[in-house]
A and B are shown apart, each in its own frame.
Chain A
Amino acid sequence: QKEVEQNSGPLSVPEGAIASLNCTYSDRGSQSFFWYRQYSGKSPELIMSIYSNGDKEDGRFTAQLNKASQYVSLLIRDSQPSDSATYLCAVTGYGGSQGNLIFGKGTKLSVKP
């Protein structure tokens, strides 16, 4: 059973702080890794993708991947109240289900002004 695990939170950080969101996955064959942001009552929105070990930065967001440890993280610098949402980690399988994403249950982030 392929699994993606996230701390459900809520994770509460003050405005301007760094929010750190973590995710572990069980399938060593996973090739692609994604972070989605989902505001309450809305659909998931892709914010970051990462495919190789190391860091990938995009504005205030940094995704980190460690395939040996089967660990993915998302850092949000200078957190804003508008970042308050649920963050979903997703990874692809391999072989026949290569294109299918497996989602974690999400971490709820609250940024306090």
Chain B
Amino acid sequence: NAGVTQTPKFQVLKTGQSMTLQCAQDMNHNSMYWYRQDPGMGLRLIYYSASEGTTDKGEVPNGYNVSRLNKREFSLRLESAAPSQTSVYFCASSGPTGGSGYTFGSGTRLTVV
């Protein structure tokens, strides 16, 4: 049982390049989330998907797009990467109300130069 799987684990981009972070969960969870974590800033919600077919903005959505491809997969796209997007990105999933907490993926460490 893999839980939440994120790829890639590490990535270096040049300013202006694009990339997609992939996330898949095998726990039959309805809700999925993308967070970024920066020193001193804690975990900040970028986008979330409460159920298949829906997505909503979180606290820091600018510069990102998401796709809930199906119940298992939720991807995060950076269309034109900026150095301010250098961060550690975590995908998470939860049951319908999040009342049982989240399960996190192992994270993607992204550096934009």
Q: Report yes or no: A105 in contact with B101, Cβ–Cβ below 8 A.
A: no
Known A43-B106, A43-B107; contact A101-B98, beta-carbon cutoff 8 A: yes
Interface centre among A44, A92, A98, A103 (most CB of B within 10 A): A44
Q: Report yes or no: A44 in contact with B97, Cβ–Cβ below 8 A.
A: no
Q: Contacts of B97 on A, CB cut-off 8 Å? A: 92, 98-99
Question: How many B residues touch A, CB cutoff 8 Å?
Answer: 24
Q: Contacts of B104 on A, CB cut-off 8 Å? A: 43-45
Among residues 45 to 82 in chain A, which have CB atoms less than 8 Å away from a CB atom of chain B?
Answer: 45-46, 49, 51
Across the interface, name the chain B residue whose C-beta is closest to A35: B101
Q: Report yes or no: B98 in contact with A105, Cβ–Cβ below 8 A.
A: no
- Specify the main secondary structure of chain A where it touches its partner: loop
- Other than A101-B102, A105-B40, give 6 A-B pairs with Cβ distance below 8 A: A43-B107, A49-B101, A92-B99, A103-B42, A103-B43, A105-B41
A residues with a Cβ closer than 8 A to B are 31-32, 34, 36, 42-46, 49, 51, 88, 90, 92, 98-101, 103-106
27 contacts between A and B (CB under 8 A): A31-B99, A32-B101, A42-B106, A42-B107, A43-B104, A43-B105, A43-B107, A44-B43, A44-B90, A44-B102, A46-B101, A46-B102, A46-B103, A51-B99, A88-B42, A90-B101, A98-B97, A99-B50, A99-B97, A99-B98, A99-B99, A100-B58, A101-B101, A101-B102, A103-B42, A103-B43, A104-B42
